[in-house]
Amino acid sequence: MGFHTTSQVEEIFGVRLLFKVANILRKDTFIALFAVAFLSGCASQQADLQTSEPEDDLFASTEDAATTEEANDPLETFNRFVFAFNEAADTLIIRPAAEGYRFIVPEPIQNNIRNFIRNTQSPVILANNLLQGDLEAAENTFTRFFLNTIVGLGGIIDIAGEHTGHEYRDEDFGQTLATWGVGEGPYLVLPILGPSNARDGVGLIADILIDPLTYTVNDDVLLGRAIVDGLDTRARNIESLDALKEDSLDYYARIRSVYGQLRENQIRNVDSATEKDTPDLGNIFPEDDDQLSYLEE
């Protein structure tokens, strides 16, 4: 019975298949990338056109604004389906695994794991810093990578963040596209990966293509990194997501809102606010409603 080799077992679970597909996709990804970027650009332009239409019915347009303003979700039916699937996967596998991870792995080790993973992502962050023209952030990322790799024992200790004030700041290609003026496009819920949108979906693929490890390291290692990274993030959010879910009437809509705001803040770097350098808070708080929608009777 020689055919139960490791690679066949993996074949059964479809893991290798997934990576084969990814490899085939790679060739055409650049074309796909620009196609989707173009499409999402069109979508956002169209949205602009829609909002700037002259209003002959003032009431109707305010009503629309109240609901469509924040929810750019033309694929809602499909998204809700994927969301339900993800929820099931989370309840059955991901959340229990994250709880197990948190229970078994001591907190300092968890932090070492996160530091290490973040350090391996530095080249991607650096590339995006540069693509955004943010030299200050690029210097920060480079210093972190240099210090943490050499002094921080290959990245498991965040020396730069703890001692020299070079704190971790995430950047990805979705954010880079945003700084280039690409609109977010329609909201998307990706299987397992969760909330996204057309722009950030493209960003995910681009980040894989930018990453030097994609071309140098075994696919299994990359998959392992993605899984541990996801598990670690999930483990750090068990309570907050539970609370959010418990408090929601429509959990799907709530997550959609949180995702939109989170990305908006990441793009404006609200998350990296320090005492010296307060970010542009932009429209962090929603505009007050029009007088019309408050009108009594």
Partner 1 sequence: MKKFMITVVALLTLGATTVFASDKADQAGAFLQNLRDEAVEKVKDDSLSPDERSEEFKALIARNFDIEDTARFVVGRFWRKADKQERSDFTELFQNILVQRFLPVFEEYAEAEFKVVESKKRKDYFIVTTTILTPNGEPANLFWRVDPKGEDSFRIKDVAPEGISMRSTYREDYTSALKSLKGDMTEFNAKLREKLNKS
Judged by beta carbon, residue 45 or residue 248, the one nearer partner 1 is 248
Judged by beta carbon, residue 20 or residue 245, the one nearer partner 1 is 245
In angstroms, what is the minimal distance from the CB of 23 to partner 1? 37
Judged by beta carbon, residue 209 or residue 244, the one nearer partner 1 is 244
In angstroms, what is the minimal distance from the CB of 43 to partner 1? 19
Helix 251-267 with 76-89: angle, nearest 10 deg: 100
In angstroms, what is the minimal distance from the CB of 74 to partner 1? 14
Q: Which amino acid is at 265?
A: N
Q: Which amino acid is at 50?
A: Q
Q: Which amino acid is at 119?
A: N
Residue ranges binding partner 1 (CB under 8 A): 62-63, 66-67, 70-71, 107, 243, 246-254, 256-258, 261-262, 264-265, 270-271, 273, 275, 278, 281, 284-286, 288-289, 293-295
In angstroms, what is the minimal distance from the CB of 284 to partner 1? 5
Total residue count of the chain as it appears in this document:
297
Judged by beta carbon, residue 2 or residue 246, the one nearer partner 1 is 246
Instruction: Give one word for 99, left, alpha or beta, with left for phi > 0 and alpha for psi -120 to 50.
Output: alpha
d(CA 7, CA 281): 51
In angstroms, what is the minimal distance from the CB of 31 to partner 1? 35
Q: 197: Cβ–Cβ under 8 A, 6 or more apart, which residues?
A: 40, 72, 184, 185, 186, 187, 188, 263
Neighbours of 171 (CB within 10 A): 27
Instruction: Give one word for 282, left, alpha or beta, with left for phi > 0 and alpha for psi -120 to 50.
Output: left
Judged by beta carbon, residue 56 or residue 239, the one nearer partner 1 is 239
